[in-house]
């Protein structure tokens, strides 16, 4: 609304080094309380020459602004609005009349009655009132800076995402700067979807000392632009004290279950630990780098055949803050016997191996156990890294075993924790089903997350270098 420049200058307090009361003309602060009371009924002005003193007056004066505001209501809540000017108070009502509005000097009783049937916005739930109370001043005013505290308050997750999308769109269309504090991934996802420039700063406390870390916009765009990661829960990691990155979603479920049945209390509460999938080994470095930039402690849990690809190993070591030059010698010694090696096994030897498994079984049924024995035999004869999957660290022998053992220990200290048994499924040898979704269901049903192997691997995750550091940081990180 128009303000004379002299009125602004009179409220400026240069001796205090701030704009003082004049700040209200340059920035809008939307806290939770004010948002609930903004889009309410407001008294009409005395005459046509009286300037607007409330955002609802601006809606009254400008049909295009009301159309924009109504569009936001319908976008989020699928409910239209009407501006009721038939009485002394202007009211925002929820719904749409099926009759044309009469001239102001010829308002009919039928129109008044129909308008009165629509519920007022004041009577709606906190979610609708809060969101519309937040965007109303943005639609009707020209504040260059908007500061919002917890914009997702009172909103369901889809509504929070829609609000983020709307706020981002407004920054582009209106050229405004929005500064907000949030604990909500859905709101952040909406901002990223909007196409607006988004900068994330993560605030945490460590022994009552606040720390702020900023995430580079390009890194955030890189993560959000990856289709395999966009719809995972990786962004939730920004709000947790410890993130455990896993290769797949099933791995996350299994490890989370091992934490649920843990008998001793972890230094970091279970509610503050997030297990997040990266959909394979190759993307893990990208996600780890993003989270570590904003001081999120990260631990990576991988199958032992992660060591198969030196480029992936090198990239993850760098992303986790390690020096590849200090590890490359150990790595080469550990995998020396595997590099470029094929199985060295003939078809006749494979046939003999399978026969040695099945011959003793004779005429017994070819059941799940027999099939699994055959699969193990085939994997063991297929190649060195297949043997690693089946046999774990025992596939390394002699000096290679010594190097592999030291390499695994050094990787643990960085937060790169490898399954010593080979692959995740080998942590539950008592489960007959060996792969895929059926294995996970069987493992969870039989309670194998509580077995010694699974708990030992969890212990390594929770005592790795980053996990120990996470114990000193406080909960409640916010953006």
Residue 112 lies in a domain: yes
For the stretch 70-90, pLDDT in tens is: 999 999 999 999 999 888 899
Domain extent for 464: 284-342+383-470
Give the model's pLDDT for residue 142: 75
Domain boundary at 112, 128, 144, which?
128
CB atoms within 10 A of CB 92: 26
Residue 475 lies in a domain: no
No. of helices (H) and no. of strands (E), the chain: 21, 12
Residue 478 lies in a domain: no
Residue 456: φ, ψ to 5°: -65, -40
pLDDT higher than 60, residue 476: no
Number of domains in the chain: 2
Residue 277 lies in a domain: no
pLDDT higher than 50, residue 235: yes
CB atoms within 10 A of CB 62: 15
Average pLDDT over residues 120-129: 93
| Residues 195, 218: Cα–Cα separation, whole Å | 13
Average pLDDT over residues 413-428: 94
Average pLDDT over residues 138-155: 89
Q: Considering only CA atoms, which of 111, 143, 196 is closest in space to residue 1?
A: 143
Residue 151: φ, ψ to 5°: -60, -20
Residue 46 lies in a domain: yes
Residue 24 lies in a domain: no
| Residues 158, 155: Cα–Cα separation, whole Å | 8
Residue 92 lies in a domain: yes
Domain boundary at 128, 145, 173, which?
128
| Residues 452, 76: Cα–Cα separation, whole Å | 49
pLDDT higher than 70, residue 25: no
pLDDT higher than 50, residue 395: yes
Query: Is the pTM above the cut of 0.85?
Result: no
Domain boundary at 110, 128, 146, which?
128
Residue 51 lies in a domain: yes
**pLDDT, averaged across the chain:** 84
Average pLDDT over residues 148-164: 93
> What are the Cα distances from residue 70, in Å, to 54, 132, 136, 404?
17, 9, 10, 64
Q: What is the CA radius of gyration of the chain?
A: 31
């Amino acid at each position: 609304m128009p303000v004379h420049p002299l009125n602004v200058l009179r409220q400026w307090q240069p001796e205090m080094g701030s704009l003082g009361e004049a700040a209200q003309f340059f920035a809008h602060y939307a806290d939770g309380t004010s948002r609930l009371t903004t889009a309410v009924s407001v008294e009409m002005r005395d005459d046509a020459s009286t300037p607007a003193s409330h955002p609802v007056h601006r809606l009254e004066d400008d049909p295009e602004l009301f159309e924009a505001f109504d569009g936001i209501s319908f976008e989020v809540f699928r409910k239209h609005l009407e501006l009721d000017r038939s009485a002394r108070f202007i009211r925002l009502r929820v719904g749409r009349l099926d009759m044309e509005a009469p001239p102001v000097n010829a308002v009919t009783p039928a129109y008044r009655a129909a308008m009165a049937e629509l519920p007022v916005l004041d009577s709606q739930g906190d979610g609708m009132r809060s969101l519309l109370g937040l965007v109303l001043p943005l639609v009707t005013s020209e504040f260059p800076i908007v500061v919002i505290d917890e914009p997702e308050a009172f909103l369901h997750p889809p509504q929070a995402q829609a609000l983020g999308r709307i706020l981002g769109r407004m920054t582009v269309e209106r050229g405004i700067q929005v500064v907000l504090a949030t604990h909500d991934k859905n709101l952040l996802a909406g901002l990223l979807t909007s196409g607006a420039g988004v900068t994330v700063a993560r605030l945490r406390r460590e022994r009552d000392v606040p720390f702020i870390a900023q995430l580079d916009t390009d890194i955030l765009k890189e993560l959000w632009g990856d289709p395999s990661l966009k719809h995972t829960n990786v962004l939730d990691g920004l709000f947790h004290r410890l993130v455990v990155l896993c290769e797949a979603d099933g791995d996350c479920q299994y490890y989370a279950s091992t934490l649920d049945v843990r008998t001793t209390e972890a230094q970091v509460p279970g509610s503050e630990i997030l297990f997040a999938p990266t959909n394979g080994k190759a993307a893990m470095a990208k996600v780890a780098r993003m989270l570590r930039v904003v001081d999120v402690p990260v631990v990576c849990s991988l199958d032992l055949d992660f060591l198969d690809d030196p480029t992936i190993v090198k990239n993850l070591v760098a992303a986790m803050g390690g020096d590849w030059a200090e590890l490359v010698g150990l790595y080469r010694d550990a995998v020396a016997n595997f590099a470029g090696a094929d199985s060295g096994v003939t078809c006749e030897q494979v046939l003999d191996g399978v026969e040695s498994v099945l011959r003793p079984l004779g005429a017994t049924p070819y059941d799940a156990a027999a099939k699994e024995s055959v699969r193990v035999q085939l994997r063991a004869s297929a190649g060195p890294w297949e043997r690693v999957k089946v046999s774990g660290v025992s596939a390394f022998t002699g000096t290679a075993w010594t190097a592999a053992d030291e390499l695994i220990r050094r990787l643990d200290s960085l937060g790169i924790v490898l399954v010593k048994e080979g692959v995740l499924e080998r942590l539950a040898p008592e489960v007959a089903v060996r792969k895929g979704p059926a294995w996970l269901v069987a493992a969870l049903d039989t309670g194998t997350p509580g077995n010694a192997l699974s708990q030992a691997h969890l212990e390594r995750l929770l005592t790795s270098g980053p996990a120990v550091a996470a114990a000193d940081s406080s909960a409640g990180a916010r953006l």
